[in-house]
Amino acid sequence: MLSKKLHDAINAQINAEFWSAYLYLSMSMDAENKGLKGVANWFSIQFQEEQDHARILINYLLSRDAEVKLAPIAEVPTAWASPLEMFSETLAHEKKVTAMINNLAAIASEDRDYASSNMLVWFIDEQVEEEENARSMIAAFDAVEGNKFGLYMLDKELAARTYTQASPLASKAE
């Protein structure tokens, strides 16, 4: 049985994951409006991934016979000056999410809830990847800043990114 503290924190994390999805959808729309179809694609895939993260947590609560409490999603920004600004905000946001996941892991550890601790390992690893991806994008956009051809080529490269369902969900589908 989940402790009330962990149960409440996981429900808050579900809301945060949906907020993240909404943020990345907004970034995708802004990039699309600016004619950056590759950047829009990158953030559209992030939107899908964040929904996956929420679903994994929802499935976990349900598997533990715990109530899922969906809360309203707060408003997100709608415009950014450049892709570099988008990815800089992405990195800052992912660092906040990492802190939230670490908090969940700390609560699970305090509770000696080994099942929850085990489930959260996937999220901890995922956050390392999320931050690394954002830093890579910042470096790439920083390298082409002011170079229209470089921006064009980078945008074209990002258009090739494809969505892969998160492994904890893919294993459930089998």
- In one-letter notation, the amino acid at residue 125 is D
CATH homologous superfamily of 4-168: Ferritin, core subunit, four-helix bundle (1.20.1260.10)
Alpha helices in the chain (DSSP H): 4-33, 37-63, 83-110, 114-144, 148-158, 167-173
pTM for this prediction: 0.93
Q: What is the pLDDT of residue 173?
A: 56
Say whether pLDDT at 27 is over 90.
Answer: yes
What's the whole-number mean pLDDT along residues 109-131? 97
Q: Cα–Cα distance between 170 and 59 in angstroms, integer?
A: 12
**143 Cβ contact partners less than 8 Å away, ≥ 6 residues apart:** 150
Q: What is the pLDDT of residue 168?
A: 87
Confidence of residue 42 (pLDDT cuts 50, 70, 90): very high
- Read off the pLDDT of residues 136-165 as tens digits, 9 standing for 90 and up: 999 999 999 999 999 999 999 999 999 999
Task: Look at the chain and count its residues.
Answer: 174
